[in-house]
Structure 1
Amino acid sequence: MATWFSSPADAADRLAAAGYLADGPAATTAYLAGSLEKPLLVEGPAGVGKTELAKAVAAAAGADLVRLQCYEGLDEARALYEWNYKKQLLRIQASSGEASWEQTHDDIFTDEFLLTRPLLTAIRREEPTVLLIDEVDKTDIEVEGLLLEVLSDFQVTIPELGTVAAARRPFVVLTSNATRELSEALKRRCLYLHLDYPDADRERAIVLAQVPDLDEALARQLVSMVGRLRELELKKAPSIAESLDWARTLLALQIGTLDEAAVVRTLGVVLKHVSDQERAVRELRLPDLASLAAEPPSAGRP
């Protein structure tokens, strides 16, 4: 069995060195996923660090990341493999009349004509690999059946070539925004981790780790405001990534204090719907942007 982390503490330390501040449950589950060689299903709201966890595991372990981005309509040809039909046709035309069909068949169904997609690519790799199956809840239920087959035995049967078994099992991370309920069969094959928005102290630590030039007092103001925004009934609450974008925005604009005027002028960095911005201005009693537009910006303020 491949060893990814030697202990939960080792996982936490190495993930932190890769820029990901994992809490106790995340570090423990990451360690167990590697040591038990079981897929890890990470569920939670968009933007809480599910995909970043997979990237951090790859960085911490010096492994390559293979990503399958899920979407409605994803099929086996895009997830697993397909044949290069154009190239096969050219080979058939080139050998027309010179070989029997049996010989031609055996010639065109080889690795040379196989187009591997993320699932098969990860299974065939002999090097340490992290397989990220991102936003699995966006796929059709039929794709879950394909994933069950692959993740149960880490092998794929290609009718023309036979069974391809993993020489080295990848570290598998499946992410879900919980837009639909995943099948119990898929969940049974995985370890489970739920990630939510971090508390204020942890988010401030994340912001300062990723944007080290930001003043700590300003980071405290930013995290506090993000927390207030998440308490509102918004179409899309600010993610951790948007908190980081906001921090970088404040640095770029040389804003030293996140006062109400600065919040309103930069609100588009964290709220991407007009209705959300209007609700935030109304419920947090922020000044109207139109009234601020008439004011000339002062030094160090947008």
Structure 2
Amino acid sequence: MDDWLIFRGSGQPHEGIERLPEPPPWRYFDGGPPLPVPDADDPSVARRLGDVARARVYRPYGDELELVNSALYLRRPLLVTGKPGIGKSTLAYSIASELRLGPVLTWSITSRSTIEQGLFSYDAMARLEEANLRRHLPDATEPLDIGRYIRLGPLGTALLPYERPRVLLIDEIDKSDIDLPNDLLHVFENGEYTVPVLQRIAATQPAVSVAVSGSERQAEIHRGQVRCRAFPFVVLTSNGERDFPPAFLRRCIRVELREPGPEQLASMVESQLGPEMYEESQDLVERFLARRADGTLTTDQLLSAIYLTSYAAQERGETRERLADQILRFVDTT
């Protein structure tokens, strides 16, 4: 029976998140006051072209569905591994879209990424410069608004006390410095963090409004402390290029995405390009499946080949086979 599944991988938005039961006692958080999840259509939300299309691409297998829903129920991060281009980051967009959890908060990891960058940024130099300028203005009597120099990062925004969980994509965690997984573990376990500069002024300014990631709106922080209410749905992607600390792995739900089969590919092509274009390009899908056995190809390449040949092959007289071969080149050559 699949009645327990909240996320079904259907690609159709629904209110199934309302059926999610209370978290287990060891994953209960009581941050507040509660904030509504921003609507993806809110004009204040920074849109990224293609997000809706990406959300419709992912079509999960049975055990993948079970593991995603396990992470939802247990309020645990989901560590997603698999070949490049297989749809690891797309999974986050699919969950956010289907469960109506607002726009995805994205943190792309590099070797220089730190936990502080994910939580918030504080422009101390800009604040100092403005303070020096205000000394020469005789009518500058209002206190300096420190909130203007603080912006919450994607991780810091996800941990605000939202009524529903935000979806946070931490992309390519294997590129991180060796300390970042352990730093993340601490934040994930506690569901909270502090902004030290706001803690220091809490006696005189207990509530400060700051900018948040991915939106023009602001959030109010009380006494420099942020604690989540609904633990965010965290998707960490990995290409399997490194090992992670055992303590980190124990606290994640792990899922390895497999390459999509014929039925999944058909669903992806139809959802992106329409059933008519799929009917005209079944031979390219078969070629893609045959070539994939000899090397790494991505679903994006297949979609690009179908789109290109449906137009260019007709207008320029090029053969579909030649154009398809130009697009369907192996990602790795090893």
TM above 0.5, yes or no, is yes
Match status 1:12 vs 2:74: no
Contact 1:126/1:167 (CA < 8 Å) preserved in 2?
yes
Contact 2:78/2:252 (CA < 8 Å) preserved in 1?
yes
Contact 1:12/1:21 (CA < 8 Å) preserved in 2?
no
Structural RMSD (CA): 3.0
Question: Which ranges in structure 2 are unaligned for 5 or more consecutive residues?
Answer: 14-54, 137-142, 200-223
Task: Please point out which of 174, 186, 206 is paired with 2:236.
Answer: 174
Alignment of 1:148-167 (within 5 A): 148-160=185-197, 161=199, 162-167=224-229
1:164-220 deviation per Cα after TM superposition (whole angstroms, max 9, x unaligned): 211332111111111222222221111111002122332233223322244555443
Name the one with the larger helix percent.
1
TM-score (norm 1): 0.74
Q: State the secondary structure of the residue aligned to 2:167.
A: strand
In structure 2, C-alpha distance between the alignment counterparts of 1:61 and 1:240, rounded to whole Å: 24
In structure 1, C-alpha distance between the alignment counterparts of 2:66 and 2:112, rounded to whole Å: 34
* Aligned position for 2:250: 188
* Aligned position for 2:67: 29
Question: Quick check: 196-205 or 164-173, which moved more?
Answer: 196-205
Q: In the comparison of the two structures, how many residue pairs are matched?
A: 256
1:234-254 deviation per Cα after TM superposition (whole angstroms, max 9, x unaligned): 4xx211121111121222235
Match status 1:111 vs 2:147: yes
Question: Quick check: 241-250 or 171-180, which moved more?
Answer: 241-250
Contact 1:42/1:175 (CA < 8 Å) preserved in 2?
yes
Identity, % of aligned pairs? 24
Question: Which ranges in structure 1 are unaligned for 5 or more consecutive residues?
Answer: 98-106, 280-302
Higher relative contact order (CA 8 A, sep 6+): 2
Task: Please point out which of 102, 116, 124 is paired with 1:85.
Answer: 124
* Aligned position for 1:76: 115
Alignment of 1:88-237 (within 5 A): 88-94=127-133, 110-124=146-160, 126=162, 128=164, 129-160=166-197, 161=199, 162-216=224-278, 218-232=280-294, 234=295, 237=296
Contact 2:313/2:320 (CA < 8 Å) preserved in 1?
no
- Shift of residue 13, structure 1, vs aligned partner: 5.2
In structure 1, C-alpha distance between the alignment counterparts of 2:313 and 2:328, rounded to whole Å: 18
TM-score (norm 2): 0.67
